[in-house]
Amino acid sequence: MVDCSFDLRRGGFHLRIACRFASEWTVIFGPSGAGKSTLLRMLAGLERGGAARIGVEDKEVADLPAGRRRIGLLTQQAALFPHLSVSANVSYGLHGMTREARSVRVKEMLELVEAKNLADHRISDLSGGEVQRVALARALAPMPRLLLLDEPFSALDGKASNELLMRLQPWLRERNIQVIQATHDATDAFLTNAEVVLLQDGQIVAQGPAFEVLQTERERLTRNLSAAQKSAS
């Protein structure tokens, strides 16, 4: 459960949000520039400023640095460390574990994303899709309580992306890891049976089950189109 409120001004952009993400998988849906990425970065602790309150499982984390929030973030830019191997990247966030335990966790994560054959590879040898799989394994390895996904599977084709999402969902559910995913692709929302939050111009305009929120959005667009047609005729 994530309970948050933000009031942040950046130039002409104003992010003003107060909401609760209670579903195990929430999709933040909205056009480019709506504030999806900023919202995720604020939750992760990478953006600061303005008035912010972030409760994760009833624990206030707004004052904690990013690394102590137990929040994973995976973005379109995978940002793997180019000078480290795949397994060193995946184990980077594993602290306070024995070498054996780290090794087991790295293997488990790479198996989850179907990349166990890449363990010793250099990052420069990976394809775009492989990079995103490894980045997902790295984000999950420390077992965050919240995983933020910012359009992270753009380099995977539709089929591979869907398969990975299907494989990921039960694994995350078993470990009680909540997901908030930012996307402009409505398919992701239907595929994951997520709760959808509709974000526009830095504000939440609708929140609820995917079929409901996206239907409302469709109706709104249809109404706008009809109104435009009437005024044109």
Q: Contact positions toward another protein, by CB under 8 A?
A: 44-46, 65-68, 71-73, 75, 77, 79-83, 92-93, 95, 138-139, 142
Whether 54 and 62 have beta carbons less than 8 Å apart is answered as: yes
Tell me which DSSP letter residue 85 carries.
B
Nearest residue (CB) to another protein, 122 versus 223:
122
Q: How far is the CB of 86 from another protein (least distance, A)?
A: 14
Nearest residue (CB) to another protein, 66 versus 160:
66
Nearest residue (CB) to another protein, 134 versus 204:
134
Please give the backbone phi and psi of residue 50, each rounded to the nearest 5 degrees, phi first: 65, -170
Longest dimension (CA), the chain: 73
Which residues lie below 8 Å from residue 104, measured CB to CB, with a gap of 6+? none
Nearest residue (CB) to another protein, 54 versus 139:
139
Q: How far is the CB of 99 from another protein (least distance, A)?
A: 17
Q: How far is the CB of 168 from another protein (least distance, A)?
A: 19
The strand ranges marked E within the chain are 2-10, 13-21, 25-29, 51-56, 59-60, 71-75, 146-150, 178-183, 195-200, 203-209
Which residues lie below 8 Å from residue 208, measured CB to CB, with a gap of 6+? 195, 196
Q: How far is the CB of 96 from another protein (least distance, A)?
A: 10
Nearest residue (CB) to another protein, 12 versus 82:
82
